[in-house]
Structure 1
Amino acid sequence: MSAVTVATDVVPGVALPPYRLRASTVRLFRFSAVTWNAHRIHYDAAYARSEGYPDVLVQSHLHGCVLLNAVLAWAGPDATLRAFGWRNRGIAVAGDELVVTGEVVAVRDAPGECVAKLRLEERDQRGELCAPGHATVAWPAGP
Structure 2
Amino acid sequence: MRIGELAARAGTTTRTLRYYETRGLLPARRGGNGYRTYDEDDLRLLRQIKTLQDFGFDLEETRPFVECLRSGHQEGDSCPASLAVYRKKLAELDALIGELSAVREQVGAQLVRAEAALPGGPEPRCELHGKGEGR
Higher relative contact order (CA 8 A, sep 6+): 1
Alignment TM-score, normalising by the size of structure 1: 0.23
Pick the structure with greater CA Rg: 2
More strand per residue: 1
